[in-house]
Amino acid sequence: MKNKDFLKIANKKFHSRLIVGTGKYKSMSECAKAIKISGAEIVTVAVRRVNIVDKNKPILMDYIDPKKITYLPNTAGCFTSDEALRTLRLAREIGGWKLVKLEVLGDKKNLFPDMIETLKSTEILTKEGFSVMVYCNDDPLMAKRLENVGASAIMPLAAPIGSGLGIQNKLNIKIIRMQTKLPLIIDAGIGSASDASMAMEIGCDGVLINTAIAKAKNPYLMADAMKLAVNSGRKSYLSGRIKKNIFGSASSPKKGLI
């Protein structure tokens, strides 16, 4: 039986609902193996200067084939709209990447997004033909504004980037889910498999994870755990869970009781 449950972003279909970051791994081969195990079809990548001194430094593209895995260039480290726009225009030039992850930070300590700069950038990038997946706060009003200016996916944080704290404001994520038909992807703050499952159970379309896999003692095992967690959370969401009840309801029939 073919799986008909797709994640659709900017008219592209993906089987996997787990997006994986490629940073913080011990080596590129470790990163490539973890991605393979995770089953991710989209990976985030950063845009940085080529090392012109050490020409033998390994190149990401030699380990993760962009023809097989969709590269999602990010703007990590950008604190203004201008920096983010410059970065993504360069990313597009590398090889035609139009599907991008916008992330404009406002605070170096907690890495929260600057939503004013983010909103401004989303509007400009969309007009330039980019499909913009936007890292944002878990603020339903801002999410709506991003949608209004043409975002391709809303990606609220669960908690600060790399914190591993899990979803801090479930209610807001649920409200965003109720108000938008755009892909809703939890980006940042996932720590363990149960966090990923919870995101999927409350109706998110996907989860983006980097640190939780890359910095686990065993990244391969965690990559597999996250894959299973996203799948089980999705199935749980689709199955239509039972109503919560404060009283017990016996599972065994009373009839025939001795």
Partner 1 sequence: MKFKNKIKININGKKLTFNKNDSLFKLIKKLKIPINKVAIELNKKIIDKKKVNKIKLKSNDKIEIVHFIGGG
Choose, by CB under 8 A, the member of 2, 4, 13, 55 that binds partner 1: 55
d(CA 167, CA 207): 11
Which of the residues 2, 26, 36, 101 is marked catalytic?
101
Which residue matches tokens 């393979």? 36
Q: Is 25 in the site for partner 1 (CB under 8 A)?
A: yes
Number of shown-chain residues binding partner 1 (CB under 8 A):
38
Instruction: Kindly identify the residues of this chain, within the stretch 128-167, that bind partner 1 according to CB under 8 A.
Output: 161-162
Which residue matches tokens 């689709």? 238
Contact present, 142 and 156 (Cβ < 8 Å): no
Q: Is 31 in the site for partner 1 (CB under 8 A)?
A: yes
Closest distance of CB 46 from partner 1, Å:
3
Q: Is 49 in the site for partner 1 (CB under 8 A)?
A: yes
Closest distance of CB 107 from partner 1, Å:
17
Contact present, 201 and 237 (Cβ < 8 Å): yes
Active site residue 174: no
Choose, by CB under 8 A, the member of 93, 127, 221, 238 that binds partner 1: 93
Q: Give the SS3 label for residue 222.
A: helix
Token pair recorded at residue 5: 């449950």
Closest distance of CB 181 from partner 1, Å:
26
Token pair recorded at residue 199: 């995101």
Q: Is 60 in the site for partner 1 (CB under 8 A)?
A: yes
- Nearer residue to partner 1 within complex by CB, 50 or 257: 50
The number of beta carbons lying within 10 Å of the beta carbon of residue 102 is 31
d(CA 73, CA 61): 13
Print burial letters for 169-194: b (CB count within 10 Å at least 16), e (below 16): beebbebbbeebebbbbbbbbbbbbe
Q: In what order do the strands lie in the sheet with 131-136?
A: 99-102, 131-136, 153-156
- Nearer residue to partner 1 within complex by CB, 14 or 25: 25
> Which residues lie near partner 1 (CB under 8 A)?
21-25, 28, 31, 44-50, 52-53, 55, 59-61, 71, 73-74, 76, 86, 89-95, 161-162, 188, 208, 210-211
